[in-house]
Amino acid sequence: MERPDPPLRKRSPADRRTWWLQAAGATPNQTRFFENTGQELGLADALIENAVGWMPVPLGVASGLVVNGTSYEVPMATEEPSVIAAASAGASVAARAGGFTAGASAPVMRAQVFLEGCPGDAETRLEAARRHLEAEARSHLVSMERRGGGFRGLSMARLAGLEVALVRLDVDVRDAMGANLLNTLAEAMTPSLEKALGGKKLMAILSNDAGLRPAWAEVKLTLDPDRARRITLASAVAQADGQRAVTHNKGIMNGITAMALATGNDTRALESAVHSFAGSSGTYKGLSRWTAEGGGLHGRIDLPLALATVGGSVGVHPTAQMSLQLLGNPDSPTLCSIAAALGLAQNFAALNALVGDGIQKGHMALHDRRSAWLKDQGR
Ligand code: NAD
């Protein structure tokens, strides 16, 4: 296809939409759908570059997820059938047993400043300049310190086999994801770090690792002993077999990513952190563990979650804001606790189906609804 002339970035959003419809060869039905669902082009244009419209993903609600004694109606944006039904089914079994207990750490994120050509005494130079550097970091974080967050740590390391040193800046970002905050801090601190350590900047950016932001959830279910035994074994398989672990974790992220998308969070950052954690032992493993014990089934999940309730598109997108309102306007650790519990509910539902009748029964019922809709549209 020929590149648009004038280029898309030089056109108005409405003009870009017209270009899209023509260039994509939209049929009348497609045009009607696109225009019905693609209102608010101004917001799309404010959120991203070269916006032509919206790619609407269904928004649904998983019902009755009890976390730390509170029952939540959980907004989930997903294009996949069965995900919300499974989350609600898992939530319902857990609710009958008192629900999930869950928690999340203080929301600490890390920025990394990579310096080339640091002298051999850079570590000593860092210690000599520490007070001055920490004071400077705090001066860039005044509003975060006022909120009870702010500067939490400064450290350095050298990368084996590379002439590169790494300075880490840890910050409690309160209810934000912290990407822009930490990128701004890392760039602002770079000249002082270069001067103090005697190196030259290679790059400065946050780490999406989120290892400093662990979340967890647990549940104790009452279950038929043989079903509990089979789920325990299926969970052990996800620790022993990497290929199964990928699918096990995909099922967990069916729930967590859908809630992250509904609340306007950065799903790519979320997923890269989670999958890095799942592989952190050197072998990719399941994020959850289930154990038959005391006539019941105990489940636990641990994973890093950097979910925000302010900032980024969370604070701009009206649907993201409604999603947070539905959840009772939680702070970031509460949202992360709900997400961890949702992932465990989703995981229980999947394992329970897999070791029982299989997952296709539920999937195919929804598949039939899709087929009926397409038939209705004359397709
Ligand atoms: P942001 O830039 O919107 O900053 C958060 C804002 O919220 C700040 O101005 C802060 O002062 C304010 N705020 C108000 N109340 C707060 C509270 N209670 N706690 C914390 N802050 C509060 O958002 P961000 O979190 O710094 O960055 C997130 C955005 O950056 C996302 O859109 C993400 O996709 C994007 N991003 C990600 C990466 C990456 O992940 N590698 C890189 C660049 C940008």
How far is the centre of ligand 1, averaged over its atoms, from the C-alpha of 79 (Å)?
26
Which residue owns the Cα nearest ligand 1 atom 24?
A: 178
Whole-model pTM over 0.85: yes
Q: Residue 358: pLDDT band by 50, 70, 90 thresholds?
A: confident
Q: How far apart are CA 379 and CA 376, in angstroms?
A: 7
Q: Known catalytic residue: 266?
A: yes
CA 161, 164, 165, 171: dihedral to nearest 10 degrees? -110
**Cα–Cα distance measured from residue 170 to residue 207, given in angstroms and rounded to the nearest whole number:** 10
Pairwise pLDDT comparison (347 vs 315), residue with the higher score: 347
Q: For the chain, report the end-to-end CA distance as a whole number of angstroms.
A: 27
pLDDT band at 366 (very low <50, low <70, confident <90, very high): confident
CA distance 48 to 46: 6
Q: Could you say which of 248, 266, 285, 317 is catalytic?
A: 266
Say which DSSP state 3 is in: P
Q: Cβ(232)–Cβ(291) under 8 Å?
A: yes
* Averaged pLDDT for residues 38-47: 93
Q: Report the range of poorest mean pLDDT among 102-106, 157-161, 370-374.
A: 370-374
Measuring from each residue's beta carbon to the nearest atom of ligand 1, which residues come in under 6 Å? Answer: 143, 147, 173-181, 183, 206, 208, 266, 269, 308, 310-313
What is the model's pLDDT at position 338?
99
Indicate whether 367 pLDDT > 80.
Answer: no
List, for residues 313-335, the tens digit of each pLDDT value: 998 999 999 999 999 999 999 99
Distance 36 CA to ligand 1 centre (A): 31
Question: With bands split at pLDDT 50, 70 and 90, how would you rate the model's confidence at 352?
Answer: very high
**Quick one: tokens of 253?**
């992220």
Q: How far is the CA of 277 from the centre of ligand 1 (A)?
A: 22
SS3 140: coil
Are the C-beta atoms of residues 220 and 298 closer than 8 Å to each other? yes
Report which of 173, 152, 209, 206 is spatially closest to residue 310, judged by C-alpha positions: 173
Bridge partners for 61 per DSSP: 75
Report the side by side order of strands in the sheet with 200-207. Answer: 150-158, 164-172, 108-116, 200-207
How large is the average pLDDT for residues 95-118? 98
Average pLDDT of the residues in 166-193: 98
pLDDT band at 372 (very low <50, low <70, confident <90, very high): confident
pLDDT tens string 270-301: 999 999 999 999 999 999 999 999 889 999 99
Q: Could you tell me which residues are beta bridge partners of residue 101?
A: 218
Please state whether the peptide bond connecting residue 56 to the residue before it is cis, i.e. omega within 30 degrees of 0.
no
- Strand residue runs (E) in 309-372: none
Q: What confidence category does residue 39 fall into, taking pLDDT thresholds of 50, 70 and 90?
A: confident
Dist CA 3 CA 201 (whole Å) = 37
Atom from ligand 1 closest to the CA of residue 175: 19
Whose Cα sits closest to atom 12 in ligand 1?
311
Q: Which amino acid is at 27?
A: T
List the catalytic residue out of 45, 73, 80, 123.
Answer: 80
CB 235 within 8 A of CB 290: yes
Diameter over CA atoms, the chain: 74
**Number of helices (H), then strands (E), in the chain:** 13, 10
Q: Give the Å distance between the CA of 247 and the centre of ligand 1.
A: 31
Q: What DSSP character marks residue 100?
A: B
Question: 201 catalytic, yes or no?
Answer: no
